[in-house]
Amino acid sequence: MRHPYEKFIRLELITLVLVVIIGLISIFQGILIIMLFSLYLLAISIFCEAIIAMNTHNTAEGAKQFVKATMLMLVTTILLFQL
């Protein structure tokens, strides 16, 4: 039997792997847009973690993760428009 939140867990792990790969590529290539894209992927991963925490009766931790992800998305969007 599968875990009820397996999709979110897989999405979280996939985005974390992509963040590492894309982040390393962007650091070596020096492309700022790709760095910002990796920050968006990191925020998506944190959102998935927040959804899992909120649905597993860990509401306080989920709320903190949700605020972290929202702030990261906001800062990344501001940086994107400053280019």
pLDDT per position in the chain (83 positions), as tens?
677 788 888 989 999 999 999 999 999 998 899 999 999 999 999 999 999 999 888 899 999 999 999 999 999 999 999 98
Predicted TM-score (pTM) of the model is 0.88
Task: Classify residue 1: in a domain, yes or no.
Answer: no
Number of residues that this document lists for the chain: 83
Q: 23: domain range?
A: 6-81
Q: What is the pLDDT at residue 1?
A: 61
Q: Copy the structure tokens of residue 60.
A: 């306080």
Greatest extent of the chain over all pairs of C-alpha atoms, in Å: 48
- Split into its structural domains, the chain has a count of 1
Task: Classify residue 70: in a domain, yes or no.
Answer: yes
